[in-house]
Amino acid sequence: MHNALRLFLLFFLSFTFAGKASSVELASTQESHSGISLQSDVLSGAHGGTAWFAMEISPRAGWHAYWKNPGDSGAAPIFEWVMEEGGSVGMPLFPSPKRLPLGPLMNYGYDAPVTFLFPVQLPQDRGSVDGRVDAEWLICEVECVPQFATLSFSLPLGDKVIDETARQSFITARNALPEPSYWDSKAVTKNDATDLFVFMSSEEQAELSAGYFFPESEGMVDYAAEQWLQIGPNSLQLTLPRVETDIAPASANGIILLTYRNGDTATYALEPTLELQLDTSSQSSMQPVAVETSLPLWQAITFALLGGLILNLMPCVFPILSLKAFAFVSANYKTAENRKKEGWAYTLGIWASFMVIVAVLMLLRAGGNSIGWGFQLQEPVFVAMMVVLMVLVALSLSGMFSIQIGVEGAGQGLAAREGIRGAFFKGVLAALVATPCTAPLMAPAIGFALTQPLLIVFLVFTSLALGLALPFLALSYIPALARAMPKPGLWMEKVKQGLAFPMYLTAAWLLYIFDRQVGAVGTLMLLAAIVLIVFAIWLRQQGTGGILRTASWLIAALAVITIFMRPWQVPERVGSANDVQEIAYSAEALKSAKEQSRPVFVYFTADWCITCKVNERLAIETDHTQKALSDAKVTVLKGDWTNRNSEIGEVLASFGRAGVPLYLFYPAGASDPVILPEILGPNAITEIIAEHAR
């Protein structure tokens, strides 16, 4: 009897653990709305060998996680590995996703526990491999909750020992991956649709009833649109409707889901060749498609030379040229040899600056980036420094102080050396301020050069530099031109002061660009930095004492810190004239809005929150809702939780929410809000406004 019972228990336990077939966990943790665990397929790894790690995310029932391309909303999981030297972890293998529709949107992800596989290279000559993984993933149901976890692990090294209990779970995880495709495929992306061709035999197509494609890249399909399958003689064709957008797909890779007549399904990883047939004539912002140009090289060089000449008349360049011309007129000691040296130094300064910018452009082009001349103006810090430089040059021309970059004020013995150095740096300055002005004048030549081999790029931009330097170079070589220059006199100071105003105008234009990039707060900080710099210069002029000198340096350093420590950011989108102006949420903003005895609507959202985006599209950003908010004089506050924000997190927690969305309506004069549901109907906001209207 005892022997029979013992055999029964052994059989039961063996069956139970064999059925479970789960690996030994290296680490695991439970977050608010999901669990995460790290597993290995080996109990002990071989030195220098390979192993596989499995990261399982288990959402709470009814919740879901996301694929590498989350679709219309959501966010892909992020795994950052830190391992000892000699070990490394490869890119994750994602299981085939499911379609997760919600309202007018379509997302891709997993509504059940999902396992991501990672190949691991193990180090040599260690007793164990130790490390950690920082994981970040998004879990959504009606609301969305970001989850964060750090898992530390240690795996023994020595003889490789397979974890037999893990075998079945790893087999299951691998079976969830898409199968590699042996079919050739091609994707043709047009403005309104992408046509995906998978070349297979008629016999293979005979049993197919439906197909669906999950793209890895944005810009290839309209996620929510229906995809159409068409069977051809030698291929199947999927027509994927596409939203006309300025995003062109980076690749056509993805997963195709095939459904057969008997109800079976299978997924295959495709790597189609991508052919872009985007018509950009009606969309100036569309990512450009490479096209042939018929502009001959000699014409491009000629346009560059003439364009450089014309640039000398631009308000951002002419004052720089004039500064050097005045130095020619006012310096009696200059010999013909000195003039020639300074002419070539000025030319070299322009050419060297252009070559530096062109080198950066070529590096970016080699990396696959879309580039354009004047790209440095896309960087707010560069624009800020140019604004400061233009203001200082203008103030110097106005007579507030003297910029000693030429021969002004230099002694006779150092005049030649200082003159050549000054000419070089005036050329650098002329090149820097000229690049924004070149685009409208030089579009054909620059557009031609940036698509050509390096030698042609070099020739075109050398011609541009030569054209920009040519007037001063001619002045340094032709004595008749130097003699034709007016005699020095009081008029020079007056003209010099007058030339300050084009520099002020250039500074104003650059300040406008800066304001468009970073918004009003950043512009205010830049203006404050300029005032500090000018104050430091003024303080320096009040005496030569050590205290004044130290104070001026400290103030100038504070100004530089003000510029470089500003967190540059793109300003909020400005809505149409009928939209209610939104205010960024803060406790102070809410308190101020409530004190005005007007209704207040506060909503908390995030770019990765699918429910938020559906509600905004259907219930908040509609014309009738915006009109209702405007008519009732409702103050609208928006809390953006796309990035971590502890203040917003505390507000959500105070209302019992772990994530967004959250919608609050404060009737006029009320201290406590009405909490709206997480899913808003099209009239939810207008109805609550009407209900509490006086």
| Contact (CB, 8 A) for 257 and 265 | yes
Please tell me the distance from the alpha carbon of residue 24 to that of residue 21, in angstroms, as a whole number.
Answer: 10
Please tell me the distance from the alpha carbon of residue 178 to that of residue 360, in angstroms, as a whole number.
Answer: 40
* Confidence at residue 534, expressed as pLDDT on a 0 to 100 scale: 85
Do 46 and 98 lie in one domain? The reply is yes
Please tell me the distance from the alpha carbon of residue 666 to that of residue 651, in angstroms, as a whole number.
Answer: 15
* Confidence at residue 213, expressed as pLDDT on a 0 to 100 scale: 97
Please tell me the distance from the alpha carbon of residue 100 to that of residue 109, in angstroms, as a whole number.
Answer: 7
Q: Which amino acid is at 389?
A: L
Please tell me the distance from the alpha carbon of residue 508 to that of residue 406, in angstroms, as a whole number.
Answer: 26
Residue 148 maps to a domain = yes
Please tell me the distance from the alpha carbon of residue 327 to that of residue 423, in angstroms, as a whole number.
Answer: 10
| Contact (CB, 8 A) for 512 and 387 | no
Residue 359 maps to a domain = yes
Q: Could you say which of 153, 175, 197 is where a domain stops?
A: 175
Beta-bridge partner residues of 147: 137
DSSP summary character for residue 177: S
Structure tokens at 399: 């007579």
* Confidence at residue 22, expressed as pLDDT on a 0 to 100 scale: 42
**Smallest Cα–Cα separation from 460: which of 440, 446, 444, 443?**
446
Do 212 and 357 lie in one domain? The reply is no
Measured N-to-C along each axis, helices 380-398 and 318-330 cross at an angle, to the nearest 10 degrees, of 40
Helices (H), 285-411: 297-311, 318-330, 336-366, 380-398
Do 166 and 214 lie in one domain? The reply is no
Handedness of CA 385, 390, 395, 399 (dihedral sign): positive
**Chunked mean pLDDT (size 10), the chain, 694 residues:** 44 39 73 92 92 95 93 90 88 96 88 96 89 93 86 92 89 94 92 91 86 93 90 86 78 94 93 86 40 54 72 56 55 62 81 77 54 53 76 75 41 42 72 52 48 70 80 74 59 66 77 71 79 83 74 79 57 52 92 91 85 84 88 93 84 84 92 90 91 75
pTM here is 0.52
Residue 552 maps to a domain = no
| Contact (CB, 8 A) for 423 and 346 | yes
**Residue-wise pLDDT tens digits, 491-517:** 556 766 776 787 787 778 778 777 766
The count of C-alpha atoms lying within 13 angstroms of the C-alpha of 512, restricted to the half-sphere facing its C-beta, is 6
How many domains are contained in the chain? 4
Do 219 and 324 lie in one domain? The reply is no
Do 467 and 334 lie in one domain? The reply is yes
Do 302 and 220 lie in one domain? The reply is no
Nearest-5° Cα angle at 546, 544 to 548: 70
Strands 179-180 and 208-215: unpaired
Size (the chain), residues: 694
Please tell me the distance from the alpha carbon of residue 397 to that of residue 391, in angstroms, as a whole number.
Answer: 10
Q: Determine if the peptide bond prior to 661 is cis (ω within 30°).
A: yes
* Confidence at residue 69, expressed as pLDDT on a 0 to 100 scale: 94
Do 470 and 321 lie in one domain? The reply is yes
Do 137 and 206 lie in one domain? The reply is no
DSSP letters along 254-293, please?
EEEEEEETTS-EEEEEE--EEEEE---TT-TTSPPPP---
* Confidence at residue 359, expressed as pLDDT on a 0 to 100 scale: 75
109's enclosing H/E stretch is strand 105-110
Please tell me the distance from the alpha carbon of residue 26 to that of residue 1, in angstroms, as a whole number.
Answer: 41
Q: Could you say which of 139, 154, 175 is where a domain stops?
A: 175
Domain, as residue range, for 221: 179-277
Name the CA radius of gyration of the chain, rounded.
Answer: 34
Question: What is the domain-level CATH number for residue 273?
Answer: 2.60.40
Residue 474 maps to a domain = yes
Do 193 and 152 lie in one domain? The reply is no
Structure tokens at 117: 């596989």
Strands 228-231 and 98-102: unpaired
Q: Which residue has the tokens 């003209």?
A: 495
Please tell me the distance from the alpha carbon of residue 387 to that of residue 290, in angstroms, as a whole number.
Answer: 35
Do 215 and 315 lie in one domain? The reply is no
Q: Which residues of 67-103 are buried (b: 16+ CB within 10 A; e: fewer)?
A: bbbbbbbbbbbebebebeeebebeebbbbbbbebebe
| Contact (CB, 8 A) for 123 and 84 | yes
Q: How many C-beta atoms surround the C-beta of residue 376 within 10 A?
A: 16
Please tell me the distance from the alpha carbon of residue 108 to that of residue 218, in angstroms, as a whole number.
Answer: 13
Please tell me the distance from the alpha carbon of residue 319 to that of residue 314, in angstroms, as a whole number.
Answer: 9
DSSP letters along 10-43, please?
HHHHHHHHHHH-PPPEEEEEE-SSEEEEEEESEE
Which whole-number Å values give the CA distances from 212 to 53, 105, 106, 191, 225, in the listed order? 30, 16, 13, 20, 11
**Smallest Cα–Cα separation from 216: which of 172, 259, 173, 178?**
178
**Smallest Cα–Cα separation from 654: which of 566, 597, 608, 587?**
587
Question: What is the domain-level CATH number for residue 27?
Answer: 2.60.40.1250
DSSP summary character for residue 616: I
Residue 201 maps to a domain = yes
Q: Is 488 left (phi over 0), alpha (psi -120 to 50) or beta?
A: beta
Nearest-5° Cα angle at 328, 326 to 333: 130
Q: Could you say which of 277, 306, 324 is where a domain stops?
A: 277
For 303, residues 6+ apart whose C-beta sits below 8 A from its C-beta are 442, 444, 445
Q: Which residue has the tokens 């993933």?
A: 137
The pair phi, psi for residue 104, each rounded to 5°, is -85, 5
For 63, residues 6+ apart whose C-beta sits below 8 A from its C-beta are 33, 34, 111, 139, 140, 141
The pair phi, psi for residue 82, each rounded to 5°, is -125, 115
Residue 47 maps to a domain = yes
Do 328 and 441 lie in one domain? The reply is yes
Question: What is the domain-level CATH number for residue 664?
Answer: 3.40.30.10
Please tell me the distance from the alpha carbon of residue 159 to that of residue 165, in angstroms, as a whole number.
Answer: 18
Residue 438 maps to a domain = yes
Do 259 and 364 lie in one domain? The reply is no
Please tell me the distance from the alpha carbon of residue 641 to that of residue 583, in angstroms, as a whole number.
Answer: 14
Residue 286 maps to a domain = no
